[in-house]
Structure 1
Amino acid sequence: MAESGASPLPPSTSPLSPRSPHSSALSRAEQFVWLTARVLEQRRFAYHFLNGGADPVDTALAAYLNEDDGYGHALEPDLRGPVSQPLHTGHALRVLDSIGRCGGQRVERACRYLSSVSTPEGALPAIHPSQRGYPSAPFVPVMDDPPSSLLATGPVVGLLHRNEVWHAWLFRATDFCWQAVESLEKSHPYEVEAAVVFLDNAPDRPRAEAAADRLGRMVREQRLAVLDPDQLDSFPVSPGYAPGEHHFPYDYAKVPESLARAWFTDEEMERSLDFLERQQQGDGGWPIRWRQWAPGTALESRPIVTIEALLTLRAYGRTIV
């Protein structure tokens, strides 16, 4: 590795097999990541859990960067092909945020890309028409004139505000997010999760808290969160979702500081975290709940989901080592 100039991965925390009864959740997940993950997720796992550096994550992420300053190459596994997409670029910003590097000229250039693919409202479409001709999940149709999407725009705007990024694109995109969130009457879990990222980071805190309170009541009224995992069948799955594609309190409140945490009682939150712990599979990874349409996309997605599960459990003080 030294001769090639590549940065070596940190040493493994445990030689135990994923199925060993004496191995921790983290060590089982580690074996799963080494076995199945892309280089980016290997580097992310090392950064978050093995004292790895940020530079290797940054280097791995750069492989997905295109000349238009957007990100592509199936960074978001359900969209294949080389072209830049808003969802890929949002994924890249989440990675940069997680290593403390969501800023500077690189992010300004990403904002220029986002501006170039925005709708007339100044927001992002879920899928830009450039995806046409490349494989993509059947549940993300490609349209010639796609509408503005809170699902795509909310997380990007939220992350940029959290990192105090100021760019002209943000003004209209922020206005769109406020209008979209405050006018929601009926929604679905992924859209609500996108709204939460925006509200958790929007500069106008009183307005965000009021909007989050209304959104939380809607989530409970429309039964968009499973409040008791032992009674899964009593909670509906949103239209268009895969069978069993339920969402839980921890999906909305990924950290205790989230505004969405107030939507759930302590007992409901603890039950959902217990369920999340139990979802670790025999191979050490966590499952994906959305519709699996190609073997490769499921394989690439599971390490991402596994890292997120471990981060959530750790954020709530659960023992993972």
Structure 2
Amino acid sequence: MKTLTEDAFAAAERYLELHARLVDRLRFAHAFLGAPGELVRNAVAAYQNLDGGFGHAIEPDLRGSGSQPQGAEIALWMVEGIAAADEPMLLRACDWLEAHATEDGGVPWVLPSVLDDERAPWWQPQGEKPPAALNPTAPIAGLLHAHGVDHPWLGPATEFCWQAIAGISEIGAYDAMCILTFLERVPDRERAEAEFQRLRASLRDAAALDPDAPGHVHSPVDLAPRPDAMARRLFSDDELNLHLDRVIDAQGGDGGWAPNFELWTPVVAHEWGGYLTLARLRTLQAYGRIEQ
């Protein structure tokens, strides 16, 4: 079983100092150096528009300033465990989500307004009135529940997620991670466990068990980034340990971890690199794989 050495950790920290966005450097300082979470909250707030939504490339492949649902999701991940239930930034985001919700309560994958912004080629809206989608409604709702937020949008959004999950059987990797984020955090634990058991074979199949699988795949570590994650039960100790070893092996010579998806413009290489490097460090820490 491999561990990230002190020198390798120092190299990752240097990579973040040299290449990562301010918000991810502050997130690293909060997670590993005891820096106050308020600094992270302030940095995330800089991405929030006056309408309450988030833009300005908080999701690096959405380069425009306009608010998008995926921006709200990224913001919620960044302040997870930091923002309080009555945090004005979160409540304003909920107001924006409510204003852009479909009739069934969720929000679309991307709004048509994205056509006015620079973006990666895969960010295309599904028509002029796109339907709600589990990605990103499910993780947004789940994270808001975890924060303890009370807002009128959250009830209909949660019901949309339950209905959409009940109607699904075959699951891709992105939807699997969205569903797991929701099921881990939604208050109705009995219903969440029942859906997890029903879908566990499909959720497991969404992960690439071969650590050498090429292309843009998601590993068991992506679905279960912490040992207390719901998806941890989908994989054996040997499977998780193999993929954690590969995470350590995948550290680049510059100290960071690189994305396995298309980098369509140069700036996103390090913006995603910083985000992913911090995620890898937090996972290795959670599994006790960093030398102390």
TM-score (structure 1 length as normaliser): 0.85
2:32 alignment counterpart = 49
Q: How does 1:31-180 map to 2 (within 5 A)?
A: 31-101=14-84, 103-142=86-125, 143-180=127-164
Q: Match for 2:147: what amino acid? A: N
Provide the rounded CA distance (Å) in 1 between the counterparts of 2:166 and 2:123: 25
Q: Distance in 2 between matches of 1:214 and 1:104?
A: 35
Compute the displacement of 1:100 (Å).
4.3
1:280 aligned counterpart, secondary structure: coil
Q: Match for 1:249: what amino acid? A: P
Structure exhibiting the larger radius of gyration computed from Cα positions: 1
For 2:68 and 2:243, locate their aligned partners in 1 and report how far apart those are by CA, in whole Å.
33
Task: Determine the C-alpha separation between the residues in 1 that align with 2:46 and 2:245.
Answer: 37
Q: Deviations over 1:130-187 (max 9, x none)?
A: 2112111112213422111101101110011112111111111001111112221222
1:227 to 195, 204, 209: 209
Identify the match of residue 312 of structure 1 among 280, 283, 287.
283
Q: CA deviation at 1:22?
A: 7.5
Residue 108 of structure 1: how far off its partner (Å): 1.5
Q: Give the deviation of 1:102 after TM superposition.
A: 5.3
| Unmatched runs of 5 consecutive residues or more in structure 2 | none
**Cα displacement (A) at 1:215:** 2.1
Q: Is the Cα–Cα contact under 8 Å of residues 58 and 74 in structure 2 kept in the other structure?
A: yes
2:6 touches 2:291 (CA, 8 Å); kept in 1? no
Deviates more, 1:303-312 or 1:51-60: 51-60
2:181 to 197, 208, 212: 197
Counterpart of 1:132 in 2: which secondary structure? helix
The answer to which of 166-175 and 93-102 deviates more is 93-102
Which of the residues 255, 258, 263 maps onto 1:292? Answer: 263
CA distance in structure 1 between the partners assigned to 2:5 and 2:280 by the alignment: 20
Q: Aligned pair in 2 of structure 1 residues 308, 102: CA closer, same or farther (>3 Å)?
A: farther
**Given that residues 111 and 130 in structure 2 are in contact (C-alpha distance below 8 angstroms), is that contact kept between their aligned partners in structure 1?**
yes
CA deviation string 1:192-247 (max 9, x = no partner): 10100000011111111121122221134xx3212242xx35xxxxxxxxx61121
Equivalent position of 2:274 in the other structure: 303
SS in 2 for 1:67: coil
Instruction: Give 1:276's match in structure 2, choosing from 242, 247, 253.
Output: 247
Structure 1: stretches of 5+ with no match in the other structure? 1-20, 234-242
1:249 match: 220
Conserved? CA contact 1:280–1:286, under 8 Å: yes
- Tell me: CA distance 1:265–1:52, structure 2 relative to 1, closer, same or farther (3 Å): same
Taking structure 1 as reference, are residues 163 and 23 closer, same or farther at Cα in structure 2, changes over 3 Å only?
A: closer
Report deviation, 1:289. 1.3
CA displacement at 1:104 relative to structure 2: 2.7
Q: Is the 8 A contact 1:228 1:271 kept in 2?
A: no
Q: Kindly, what percent of the aligned residue pairs are identical?
A: 40
Number of residue pairs the alignment of both structures matches: 288
Distance 1:22 1:317, change over 3 A: closer
**Alignment-mate amino acid for residue 109 of structure 2:** A
What amino acid sits opposite 2:215 in the alignment? G
TM-score, normalising length: structure 2? 0.93
Q: Deviations over 1:271-294 (max 9, x none)?
A: 111111111111000010122211
Q: Aligned to 2:154, what secondary structure does the other structure show?
A: helix
Q: What is the alpha-carbon root mean square deviation over aligned residues?
A: 1.7
- One-letter identity of the residue aligned with 1:302: G
Compare 178-187 and 110-119 and name the one that shifted more. 178-187
